Amino acid sequence: MDKVFRSVAIISKKNQEVIPYLKKVIDVLQQEECLFYVEPYFYDQLQINQKYLIAEEDSEVYLVLGGDGTFLSVVFRAIQKNLPVAGINLGALGFLTELKKEQLAENIRLLIAGKLPHSLRKILELKLNNNFYFALNDVVVHSTDIARIVKISFSVDNKEKIELKGDGIIIATPTGSTAYSLSAGGPIVAPEVNAILITPICPHSLTFRPLVVPDNVTVSLKLIHNHENIAITIDGQNLIKLNEPDKIEVRIASRRLKMFLSPDINYYQLIKEKLSWGI
């Protein structure tokens, strides 16, 4: 088989449940004479031909075994290195890890041959003071205390400051519209739509509804009062404490994340299946 990718970084959680799938992945990659990275934690539990092992930084594509959380854990690295990501779903929902474990060997062969469909997903660029971060799904401002409200002002392109009192606020991409934003009452937005979602979390006003804005704007946020335990969370992975003077700006980044998709299901079938519509 002709190969587009000759080296793969395998990323998974460190638990025993993933071992049988790791063995299958490594068997296929070794059969195809493909180099791969796997965490040293697994070395003693897998039959690995040492000649195929490489460092993570030498890989050409990420292969995630797990759920959407595991997928999100590699997003920042993938964006920084400009590497694509494929996900085999071993979790519950799997909006990001689309590939089915039942077709594991077939999908890996399609992946390294460059024959899987893909999507270029827009990502958020978060500027916090003078530091930059990236998010595929969302950035969330929230309290780290139990039952404490957050008071935030936000604006779109500095046109009108809007004050929000509630449990927090979510700024999401269309890809992230099926994540935390959906749980907070936000709309489902197809990944191809050029939009940013602004979703309040339990607002103290019944008329404060989710807002969808164009993706060429900048959303600016600022704390109104200096509560000690306010933080911003990036893709549910990184938590950064905030202070009242902090300047927060969120926009669509110029970079894109290349995600591989299932060859057997389209986006609307995925939503129907994962959200049990019509059942």
Q: Cite the active site residues.
A: 68
> CB of 102 within 8 A of CB of 248?
no
- What are residue 112's phi and psi, to 5 degrees? -70, -20
As beta bridge partners, residue 249 has: 127, 220
